[in-house]
Amino acid sequence: MKHYQIVIIGGGTAGITVAAQLKLKDKNLQIAIIEPSEKHYYQPAWTLVGAGTYDFEDTERNEADYIPKGVDWIKDKATGVNPHTNTVSTAASGDVTYDYLVVAPGLVMAPELIPGLKEAMDKGVVCSNYTDPKHTWEVLKNFKGGNAIFTQPTTPIKCGGAPQKIMYLAEDYLRKHGIRDKANVAFYTPGTIIFGVPDFAKTLNKIIHDRNILFKPFMAPVKIDAKKQEIYFKYIKPDEEYAIPSDNPVGEELTDTKEIKVHFDLLHLAPPQAAPKFIQDSDISIQEGPGKGWVDVDIHSLQHKRFSNIFALGDVAHLPTAKTGAAIRKQAPVVVENLLKLMKTHEVGQASYSGYSSCPLVTRYGKMVLAEFKYDNVRDSDPMISKFVDTSKEQYSMWLLKKYGLPFMYWNLMLRGKA
């Protein structure tokens, strides 16, 4: 049985960044990363791939090139975590034991949670930038008019803004190609508002109004009929029944079971998402209640609430903020500092995560709003950038940051432990 001082589950953004930072601080640490994938993807650019303005191939690199020097890569799937015996099980490499564990396997797509979605995913006119952005681009290019429906599930998802980013780009594409007057563009969301932070919501509400996008809150997608090109929603506003509005451009129909049926000619959605099963089945996850299945960590120290030698970050951690790469950039140094302090003194460090996350909201080709915020939906814009640019307004400079600056920073600085 192999034993390491530190085992990291996951070689995605979070796992690699933490490993790189740990090695820069102390090159003698014995660290292993458990990660089955040969390829590493820069997923934030998939929004741009889906809109035909970024090559998918440029989002892909070899995982081997980013495993930090001196870190053992266990090229295998983690299949279980037993925090009582400090053991991680793997599919083919046996058990691995640890003194300290960093849990960062990300999340998994769970299309089976919406009946009909699994069969429809990435086929015909149903597309998702979360799974196959190249298919999204094909669907957009082939769209000739009708209902372009954009939606998201009731589960937590990676980058909560992504389902609306592709909608703004698609709408702009239709304008540029003379199809906009033949199309209804609608955003159906289980959410109550377009965005949680007031400054950014104000900008987005104006964009939606000015560009004649139909905004439908309190709408949870419940099933899809791919053959008939119909999606069904449940209206989830408390104590209120849904009535079809008199102005009904998309042709909503109310079924006997009070579901809202909508025909689509293009459907883009974020599939439901969940923590990996081996996490849900482990004692490290929250066992009951709203965060059930996600890893149970202190929202500031990122240390596990019940097992002090475990930390978690990234999409799998139960944190009340958006699951983004930008969040990981601020979480990683907190995990590293607190973990190293714990190893040296048996007391967790003082580093604290404020809930910072950011959502680069691409609003059209060549324009972006940079939404930065922390816990409780408090705006948290970078003081340096804010001196020069109002990031709550659409900016060309922010588009350049999204398309060129952030990918460069990701591959060359963040994954090397330097940003």
Q: What is the pLDDT of residue 373?
A: 97
Residues 97 and 139 in one domain: no
Residues 148 and 241 in one domain: yes
Residue 232, φ and ψ in degrees, nearest 5: -115, 135
Q: What is the pLDDT of residue 19?
A: 98
Residues 124 and 243 in one domain: yes
Question: Does residue 257 carry a pLDDT above 80?
Answer: yes
- Is 127 among the residues known to form the active site? no
- Quick check: is 290 in a domain? yes
Q: What is the pLDDT of residue 410?
A: 97
Residues 117 and 196 in one domain: yes
Question: Does residue 259 carry a pLDDT above 90?
Answer: yes
- Quick check: is 410 in a domain? no
Residues 265 and 280 in one domain: no
pLDDT per position as a tens digit, 368-386? 999 999 999 999 987 877 8
What are the C-alpha distances in Å from 335 to residues 123, 241, 290, 372, 416?
40, 46, 24, 21, 16
User: Among the options 78, 103, 159, 279, which is catalytic?
Assistant: 159
> Burial letters for 261-295: b for 16+ Cβ neighbours within 10 Å, e otherwise?
bbbbbbbbbbbbbbbbebbbebebbbeeeebebbb
Q: What is the pLDDT of residue 381?
A: 86
Residues 192 and 213 in one domain: yes
Which range (84-93, 223-232, 317-326, 374-383) has the least confidence? 374-383
pTM over 0.85: yes
Residues 218 and 327 in one domain: no
pLDDT interval class at 388 (50, 70, 90): confident
User: Among the options 183, 317, 359, 401, which is catalytic?
Assistant: 359
pLDDT interval class at 160 (50, 70, 90): very high
Q: What is the mean pLDDT of residues 86-93?
A: 98
- Quick check: is 60 in a domain? yes
Domain boundary among 354, 376, 404: 354
CATH number at residue 215: 3.50.50.60
Residues 147 and 251 in one domain: yes
Q: What is the mean pLDDT of residues 131-159?
A: 98
What are the C-alpha distances in Å from 223 to residues 111, 119, 120, 254, 317?
10, 11, 11, 14, 28
Residues 87 and 117 in one domain: no
Angle at 397 between CA 395 and CA 401, to 5 degrees: 115
Domain that holds residue 181: 110-272
Residues 147 and 256 in one domain: yes
- Quick check: is 303 in a domain? yes
Name the one residue in this structure whose structure tokens are 């099963």. 277
Number of domains in the chain: 2
- Quick check: is 417 in a domain? no
What are the C-alpha distances in Å from 254 to residues 6, 147, 243, 261?
55, 17, 8, 6
Q: What is the mean pLDDT of residues 229-253?
A: 97
Q: What is the mean pLDDT of residues 121-129?
A: 97
- Quick check: is 366 in a domain? no
Which range (47-56, 314-323, 382-391) has the least confidence? 382-391
Domain boundary among 354, 380, 401: 354
Domain boundary among 272, 307, 339: 272
- Quick check: is 386 in a domain? no
First to last CA, the chain: 35
Residues 97 and 142 in one domain: no
Residues 87 and 125 in one domain: no
- Quick check: is 367 in a domain? no
pLDDT per position as a tens digit, 27-81? 999 999 999 999 999 999 999 999 999 999 999 999 999 999 999 999 999 999 9
